[in-house]
Every structure is written in C-alpha cells, then in structure tokens.
Amino acid sequence: MYAYQVNAWGDVVGTPGAVTDLASGHYFTPGDLDPALEAIAAAGFPGVEIFDGNLLALGDDAQSFGRRLETHGLALAGVYSGGHFIYPDAHEEEYLRFERSINVAASLGARHFVIGGGGVRARGRLNSDYQVMAELLERVAERAAAEGLIPSYHPHLGSLAENPDQIDALFTASSIGLCADVAHLAAGGGDPIRIIERYADRLKYVHLKNYLAASSTFVPLAEGDLDIHAILAAITTLGYSDWIGVELDGYPGDPSVAAADNFKFLQEATNA
C-alpha cells in the first residue's frame, strides 16, 4: 500500500511559538491541503501522511480532517512529528507536545507515528546525546504504541542521527523501530539497502523518494541516483508488507504531475 506526504504541496515549516514555548512547537505544511488530497487521490494513492502540526492547528475540530479524507477515499497512513530530545531539562515539555500529537493521530485512525529530530549542538554531537535522546524517544514510542500507533524513528539530514555511525549510536541506545527514508539514508552517506537489512527486525515503515547527489536534491522516483526497484525488492524479500510513504518535499516542479508519475512508476515496478 502506498501513501503520499502532503508536504509536496508546501514543504515543511515550524510553528513560531516554539521559540518561547517548547511544548507548542510542531512541523506543518502551510496552505490549503485540499488540492493536495484531491491530487493524491486522483493519482491513485490510497493513503496520506501529514505533519502533526496540521492536525493540531484544527484544535477541537481535528475530526474534520478525517471527514476530508473520507471524501477523497484516503486512509491516514502516518503522522510525522519531531523534537530536540537532547536537552534533559526540556523532556517534560517535549513529552507533553508529543502526547497531544499522539492523541490526535490515534483519534483519526492513523497507523504510523513517525518521529524525527534530535538536535545538533553548535559545538557538534556529544556521545551522551544519544542516550539522553533515547530516554525520551522510548517514552514517546511507548505512549504511541499504547494508543494503537506504530512508532518509528526517521533518520534525517541535519539531525542527531544522520549518517550510518550516528544511526547505529541511537539505535544501540534505543529499541525504537526504524522508518527508513531511503533518500535521507543515501544523502547521509549510507547505503539504504544495507541499513534496511541491518535493522530488518526493526523496520516498521518506509519513506520512498529518489535523490540526485550532484545537486543534493530530492526528485521523482524515476529520476534519481537510487535504484528504487532494488530497494523495493529488498524490503519485499525481508517480508515488509505495510504502508510505504512516498515523499517529494522541496521539488520545484508540479507536485500533482509528480504524484501521478510516481504512482505510475510504482505500478510498473510492482507489475514488472
């Protein structure tokens, strides 16, 4: 089953209140998301992924997003959240923020709760940061699982766990599952297939997009350096059969055309 991230229609920003209040900060995609939902459904995708901030901004009317999904025949495959994690003094505030995100994701029937982040200090990463992050990450994952969600951590460019050694350090300290974003794994200096195979028993979710190293850009599935067919074959061999979330954040082209092209690529890859 393939889902599509709505950030292709508006990228990602953060809530400004987080500057003074850690408990209020979230990722979100700006703008009207109805055109994105319509295009995702028209392309053929049965599910979507969205940032937690878009749902929390709806307040008591979060269920209206569920109704919009029903209108387009879409399932909520995942909700993405993130935080700093490395500052112990802020753990309680960050946990309260994650609690709200988990509650709204569960109320809308989301399957996956994806967690990104892990701050990087101005002086660089400290070895102790991985253990400090793991403590809060475990707590958040436990709460998400208790609400019926599947929690996973997404290694991301610019975060504490960016390259293979850093991913190993965090996953040694934590037992959380892996959300393998193949383009970020490659851009961070890793081999996506090798990392997926290394953590095969912890693979909970997959983010799929392609990557051009020469320009450091994310591109549609058929256009980049990554062998998407080989990646799909690898996760199939490992027995993965859950949602695969397709992304195309930061792409300068028409997102609706790209979504249709990506779905066509996946259909052809599946039938090959």
Q: Residue for token digits 């109320």?
A: 107
Residue 125 CA to residue 10 CA, distance in Å, equals: 30
pLDDT digits (tens, 9 = 90+) for 197-219: 999 999 999 999 999 999 999 99
Three-state secondary structure call for residue 75? strand
Two structure tokens written together for 246: 């397709």
Q: Is the pTM of this model over 0.85?
A: yes
Which tokens is 265 given?
Answer: 């690529």
The residues pairing with 244 across neighbouring beta strands, listed in sequence order, are: 2, 206
Q: Is residue 160 a part of any domain in this protein?
A: yes
pLDDT in tens, 103-125: 999 999 999 999 999 999 999 99
Which is nearest to 186 in space by CA: 160, 216, 206? 216
Q: Provide the token pair at 70.
A: 């029903």
- 40 vs 46: CA distance, rounded Å: 8
The answer to whether 78 and 44 are in contact (CB under 8 A) is no
* Domain annotation covers residue 269: no
H or E element that contains 262: helix 255-271
Helix (H) or strand (E) holding 36: helix 34-43
Give the separation between CA 41 and CA 69, rounded to whole angstroms. 9
Is 17 inside any structural domain?
yes
pLDDT in tens, 147-188: 999 999 999 999 999 999 999 999 999 999 999 999 999 999
Residue ranges making up the domain that contains 84 = 7-38+46-206
Q: Give the whole-angstrom CA distance, residue 86 versus residue 177.
A: 19
Beta bridge partners of 150: 112
User: Does the residue 246 lie in any domain?
Assistant: no
Domain count within the chain? 1
Q: How far is CA 220 from the centre of its chain?
A: 17
Residue 15 lies in a domain: yes
Helix (H, G, I), strand (E, B) or coil at 17: helix
CATH of the domain at 177: 3.20.20.150
Residue 138, domain member (yes or no): yes
For residue range 258-272, list pLDDT tens digits in order. 999 999 999 999 886
> In this structure, is residue 64 part of a structural domain?
yes
Residue 212 lies in a domain: no
